[in-house]
């Protein structure tokens, strides 16, 4: 039997900016991220979720659902 899982990892970093308002500060941070001045890395790892695909489909796998396609296949002895 083959089982599919979705692995989601979360990265987090706290940054401080000076601005006239929270909206302006948000825009500054968003621009820094978009312009790759702030790039989160594995050092910013904070959490991970591993969920069975049946969690997303209530036990019924819809093969037309994009989340059904596995990015990596560890079946048929290809386990790493």
pLDDT of 55 above 80: no
Q: Is the dihedral of CA 15, 19, 21, 27 positive or negative?
A: negative
2-39 pLDDT tens trace? 788 889 999 999 999 999 999 999 999 999 999 999 99
Mean pLDDT of the chain: 83
Q: pLDDT value at position 36? A: 97
Helix, strand, coil % in the chain, rounded to nearest 5: 30, 20, 50
In percent, the amount of the chain with pLDDT more than 70 equals 75
Asked if 35 contacts 78 with a C-beta cutoff of 8 angstroms, the reply is no
pLDDT of 60 above 80: no
Q: pLDDT value at position 48? A: 97
């Amino acid at each position: 039997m083959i089982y599919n899982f979705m692995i989601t990892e979360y990265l987090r970093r706290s940054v401080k900016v000076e601005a006239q308002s929270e909206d302006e500060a948000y825009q500054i941070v968003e621009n820094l991220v978009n312009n790759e001045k702030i790039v989160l890395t594995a050092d910013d790892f904070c959490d991970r979720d591993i969920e069975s695909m049946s969690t997303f489909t209530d036990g019924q796998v819809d093969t037309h659902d994009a989340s059904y396609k596995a990015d990596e296949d560890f079946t048929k002895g290809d386990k790493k």
